[in-house]
A and B are shown apart, each in its own frame.
Chain A
Amino acid sequence: MKDPYDALGIERTATDKEIGTAYRRLAKEYHPDLHPGDKTAENRFKEISAAYQILKDPDKRRRYDRGEIDAGGQEQPERSFYRAHADAEDGAKYARYEDFADLADKSDIFADLFRQTGDGRRSHIKMRGADIAYSLRIGFLEAANGAKKRVTMPDGVALDITVPEGVLDRQTLRLKGKGQPGLGGGPPGDAYIEIHIEPHPVFERKDNNIHITVPITLGEAVLGGKIDVPTIKGAVSMAVPKGSNTGTTLRLKGRGILDPKSKDYGDQYVTLEVVLPREIDDTLSDFVESWASDHPYNPRGDMKGV
């Protein structure tokens, strides 16, 4: 990584004002969106931004000067510049057709090249349809396991949507060509579907793991045993170890949600909760009374002095 003072072309004694001025001058000169085809501009711009991140902050600058931090580690998060979008098909959105009308007049053969996307005064209008956005509410299990949904658009057209397994809340699905129809043979726009996942009364999602609290009886807690535990794909049998307490958390490996990138499944974490019987009968209270009298223990020992 380049020395930040060199990157901004300033002396080590430069004032804050000089740093700001140098940064603004270079940022204007090298902003990649002002140099669409120049590959070096992006690297230069990143270098300038990283240098400015250090030098604009008096504390970071002092630490850099003392050698406590180096010039690396200040890189900006990966970002996409406007030029990548403007050069692509999407760029037509911000095009200015009227600026090319004279060129269209000059050439019979290439007239279409300069008026292809439509100048209102000519008969040859071809425009891409508008994009539309919808939100779609789906159930927790539909999101976890994937689902097919059919929605009816305001214009009455039915749209089939395949919700991928493991979809995230607020994730947007793009349906190419399902937006508004184009004009004069232009392509249709796209539909963007934003997913909203409804919460589940039992399951809770954290990343690709599922968390669930399961009640157990006093007997299951003390003696252990097999219990049925719901998972997103149906109930499975789970062994409760002898002496399990409220708050004990067990893991069911691979019973969580699919990670679309790694294709691995997350886990399900089961937190146990010991529940006493609804009625404490004499047998239980007599037993506990005699047991407690010669088995004293202090579960609140850690709270002393609080």
Chain B
Amino acid sequence: MLSFEDVIEIIDSLQAEELHTWIEVGWVLPVRHRESYRFTEIDVARVRLISEMVHECQIEADAMPVVLGLLDQVYELRRRLNTLVRAIEAQPRDIREKIGRTVSETAGQPRNRSA
């Protein structure tokens, strides 16, 4: 877990002022700790992502909520899809095959069959 100052230190071109703003508007959700914050690994990775989007890819701050909003939806979808796939994989073979056939028919594409 890293402190506010650690995060500023390890991420290139990140300013304390902007990190404060990002926390205020809820782009990053570090854990409150006394008068400051503690950042878990996912928080730090997220700060780095936002910093790269803003500084290197020059995405305007105004556009960041759109980017982050879509990104969070994509990752949430991936997690839920993953849950669904695991649930289906846990079923007996005939049920898995029935689901597979239905998916092929619905998607209109031949399913790649494997033993």
Listed in ascending order, the chain A residues whose CB lies under 8 Å from chain B are 23-24, 27-28, 31, 33-34, 36-37, 79-87, 90-97, 99-100, 110, 113-114, 116, 130-133, 172, 192, 194
Contact = CB atoms under 8 A, between A and B. Distances in A.
Contact of A91 (B52, B59, B69, B76): B76
Interface in B20-65: 29, 31, 33, 38, 40-42, 45-46, 48-49, 52-53, 56-59
B13 interface: no
A93 B29 contact: yes
A200 B53 CA distance: 45
A35 to B, nearest CB: 10
B57 A113 contact: no
A80 B2 CA distance: 15
A242 to B, nearest CB: 50
B75 A94 contact: yes
B102 to A, nearest CB: 13
Given A80-B45, A113-B87, 7 more contacts: A31-B52, A81-B49, A82-B48, A91-B76, A110-B84, A113-B80, A131-B40
Contacts of B79: 87, 91-92, 95
Given A82-B46, A94-B46, A133 B41 contact: no
B71 interface: yes
Interface of B: 1, 29, 31, 33, 38, 40-42, 45-46, 48-49, 52-53, 56-59, 69, 71-76, 78-80, 82-84, 87
Contact of B75 (A36, A113, A114): A36
The 10 closest A-B pairs by CB, nearest first: A85-B42, A86-B75, A133-B38, A82-B45, A82-B49, A172-B1, A95-B76, A90-B42, A192-B1, A28-B57
B113 to A, nearest CB: 22
Contacts of B80: 100, 113-114
A28 to B, nearest CB: 4
Contacts of A79: 48
B52 A27 contact: yes
Nearest to B68: A94
B33 A133 contact: yes
Nearest to B42: A85
B36 to A, nearest CB: 10
Contacts of A130: 31
Contacts of A97: 76
B57 A90 contact: no
A168 to B, nearest CB: 13
Nearest to A21: B58
23 contacts: A28-B59, A36-B74, A37-B78, A79-B48, A81-B49, A82-B48, A82-B49, A83-B75, A84-B45, A85-B41, A85-B42, A86-B42, A87-B75, A90-B42, A91-B75, A91-B79, A94-B42, A94-B72, A96-B69, A96-B72, A96-B73, A131-B31, A192-B40
A95 B57 contact: no
Nearest to B26: A94
Given A90-B40, A94-B46, A133-B31, A113 B1 contact: no
A84 B78 CA distance: 12
A133 B40 CA distance: 10
B47 to A, nearest CB: 9
A262 B42 CA distance: 28
Nearest to A28: B57
Contacts of A100: 76, 80
A235 B78 CA distance: 59
A240 to B, nearest CB: 44
